Amino acid sequence: MKVLKFGGTSVANAENIKLVLDIVINKSQEEKLVVVVSALSKVTDLLQLAASKAAANDETFKDIVTEIEKKHLEALKQLIPVSEQSGLLSHIKRIINHLETLLDGCFLLGELSPRTLDTILSFGELLSSYIIAEALKQKLKNSRYKDSRELIKTNNNFGKAAVNFEVSNQLIADFFASNENQVVVLPGFIATSEDGINTTLGRGGSDYTAAIIAGALNATDLEIWTDVNGMFTANPKIVKQAQPIATISYQEAMELSHFGAKVLYPPTIQPVLRKNIPIIIKNTFEPQTEGTLISNIVSAQTNPVKGISHIDNITLVTLEGSGMIGVAGSSKRLFEVLSNESINVIFITQASSEHSICIGILNSDAETAEIAINRAFQIEIAQNKIDPCIVEQNLCIIALVGENMKNHQGLSGRMFSTLGKNNVNIRAIAQGASERNISVVINERDVKKALNTLHENFFEENTKQLNLFVMGVGNVGEKFIEQIHQQKKFLKENLKINVRVIAVSNSRKMYFDEDGMPLKEWQSLLEKGESANKEQFIANVKALNLRNSIFVDITANEEVSKTYDQYLKQNVAVVTCNKIACSSAYDNYKNLKSLSRKFNAPFLFETNVGAGLPIIDTVKNLIASGDKVHKIQAVLSGSLNFIFNNFDKNNTFHDVVKEAGVQGFTEPDPKIDLSGIDVARKILILIRESGYQMEIKDIENKSFLPKDCMETTNNEAFFASLKEHARHFESILAEANQKESRLKFVAQFENGKASVGLQFIPKDHPFYNLEGKDNIVLFYTDRYVDQPLLIKGAGAGAAVTASGIFADVIRIGNV
């Protein structure tokens, strides 16, 4: 004999119930079945709400009763032929009338006792099981209905009654010994006390009912039918990459179900474990899928972790004080207090010094626990031997579960390291002597991040997901997203990095997609997005709280650069080509570096100097290896190099600057490049990365632009001024030709002094043959004395800048 249990989603409506009936009929052809059913989806919640409203003298409870009645009548009318409906509809209405009478009593008395609530909640299963049993009879005559309350006897602990197995097992065995029907349908969740009063087995108790029946009958197996393909490695609603578990031991399943794996009610396993009856978790909507087999067989698999689970709404209560050290019975008194208040302890940890005991309980029990504990220890608290208990709410327990974890070293360290890298603070830790689970308490807001990052580490072949929030999607930003799209498959297969773009923003619009936007459609999605708002963008990033989050700044906006600290403090990495932050006040530059270290959030800005060239990275490596930079000479503006390489007697200065803008070599405001401030920022960043303290005002800027050009307020006026001063630029070019030199805008640092300006470069200088938009940097150091370390290559352009930003993102992925 098999026992099948169908949950609330499986019997949510007539359409779903038809699927259930098909499964039952197919299986009944092979052997006898016991079918246990839950209430229709959400009905138990509606009954709870109606009872609460009635007790609070809120007449809207009647509307809820009407909704419940309508839900069941609709199901019955769709499942039963019209000719057979009359008597059944009357029966349903009699049950509803009884329910309404009980609720009217609650309304009149203004109270709701646990005993009355159990009776009210029982109506969900009574209604659903009756309808399903009658629908089954239409297709399978050799079937019948049996009320579980006649078979399962409990104590009077209303809300979660304890089963009297000796009596119940005998009643179940006696009934089925004389039963000749192929299928028997029973309501789950409900029972009666030995004196005949309605009781319930706890929320999720329908699983328990099925297990009690299976154990009493020595069933061949117990099938739990739900809306997912078995137990998963994590909650699939939170962890999209979660995978079904094919086989799992009873002990592992108990651990996972205790820690919130909602496909199985924790007490379910005990009745079948004693009889070694396998449990199979199946999907009503995909009945051909294998599901999860729970048995006493421990599968031989390489991964010692079987699953990751969690419990929400946890409060930590800590009792501590010197008066507990060496005093026998402190723990006993604490747990006795909680037991007397019927408070379930979910998590326990104690310091080896005996100075403190920390327990985890549900948030709903927190106030009661605090009052009771402080009352029980009031003498010690008054004598300052023990502190009043510390209560911390809005927490969550995360647990790694696996039968084979005890045989593998380093799992705890791996778990803590993974959480630490994502700035998930661990409030408490517990590990049982069996080493079957490792549990930690964290802030509730970090649950999604924690579950996903742990799952990634333990189940996804070490594939690291990077979540990008991109601000600035002009020329460079467009190329950056194009490169991500092009390389996405390569990165996943070869570097085990999964790059997702979660948000994009320009100056007008911003668009967010928590699951990662399709990169082919990002432009059209952005146009449909909400109005751009820098503060709201930051708020959204914080609210999503995704693991491995990276803010990518591809603007030249000063206000955006002032937000970096807000991201870093949230453990969000910052990758930027915006030079303003790193060339701002030295204290701000150092603060950003400090925040990066403190919150374990990378702050990378390779493209601040030399676009995609590894200039900053080279300086970092020199300094880290003990070298010291004494002198820097550099051409750091690809745009200025392009301009002066193409400025000749055939091309006016105005036309060359225009062309540089068209090709994307200059900033949107070309004056930033031509004024020399951009180069000054770059040399300042190299100086600071070399270990020197300097401010932008300390760099001498020898501008070649006339004063009128510098004082213009928009691009149109600036280009007009370049035409007006054409002779000025021609005279500079003539002087260069006369000296047989080339014009280069050079940045220098030596002996603590720095300058930027236009220079006449002779033929024998390394800068002379620098073509196009290339950059070149010479580093003179302790190790590179006679011959400098030289870095040379393209230093401007959307594609190379984008590739430099992309390289910084990949660096974070490889950390």
Exposure b/e, 582-599, CB count within 10 A at least 16 = b: bbbebebbeebeebbeeb
DSSP-assigned letters across all residues of 77-126: HHHS-GGGHHHHHHHHHHHHHHHHHHHHHHHHHT---HHHHHHHHHHHHH
Cβ pair 670, 661 in contact under 8 A: yes
Q: Residue 641 to residues 49, 646, 664, 727: CA-CA distances in angstroms?
A: 74, 9, 13, 20
Active-site option among 682, 753, 773, 792:
682
Distance in angstroms (rounded) separating the CA atoms of residues 384 and 322: 9
Enter the DSSP assignment of 389: P
Q: Is 237 a catalytic residue?
A: no
Six token digits for residue 465: 């997901």
Two structure tokens written together for 517 = 């936007």
Q: How many Å apart are CA 458 and CA 305, to the nearest integer?
A: 7
The 3-state DSSP composition of the chain as helix, strand, coil percent (nearest 5) reads 45, 20, 35
Helices and strands of the chain, counted as H and E runs: 29, 30
- C-alpha closest to that of 451 among 570, 311, 314, 574: 311
| Residue 749: both structure tokens together | 């640092």
Distance CA 111, CA 529 (A): 50
Q: Tell me, what DSSP letter sits at residue 298?
A: P
Which amino acid type is present at position 519? L
Report d(CA 276, CA 283) in Å as an integer.
Answer: 23
| 650 Cβ neighbours under 8 A, 6+ residues apart | none
Going from the C-alpha of 144 to that of each of 19, 169, 255, 296, 314, the distances in angstroms are 19, 20, 36, 33, 43
Nearest to 125 by CA among 40, 196, 185: 40
What is 547-615 written as a DSSP string?
A: TTEEEEE-S--HHHHTTHHHHHTTT-EEEE---TTTTS-HHHHHHHHHHHHHTT--EE-GGGTTTTS-H
Rg (the chain; Cα; Å): 36
DSSP result, 527-554: HTSEEP-HHHHHHHHHHH--TTEEEEE-
Burial class for 577, CB neighbours closer than 10 Å (0-12, 13-18, 19+): buried
Strand order through the sheet with 573-576: 530-531, 509-512, 497-505, 464-471, 549-553, 573-576, 603-604
Closest CA to 542 of 660, 462, 448, 663: 448
Helix H or strand E encompassing 668: none
Contacts of 427 (CB under 8 A, 6+ apart): 316, 392, 395, 440, 441, 442, 443
Residue 393 and residue 342 in contact, taking contact as beta carbons nearer than 8 Å = no
Provide the sign of the torsion angle of the four alpha carbons 767, 771, 775, 781, taken in this order. negative
CA gap 203, 162 in Å, rounded: 13
CB 678 within 8 A of CB 637: yes
Contact status, residue 200 vs residue 190, Cβ threshold 8 Å: yes
Sign of CA dihedral 289, 294, 295, 301: positive
Closest CA to 164 of 153, 150, 172: 153
Spatial separation of the C-alpha atoms in residues 678 and 665, rounded to whole Å: 13
Catalytic residues: 682
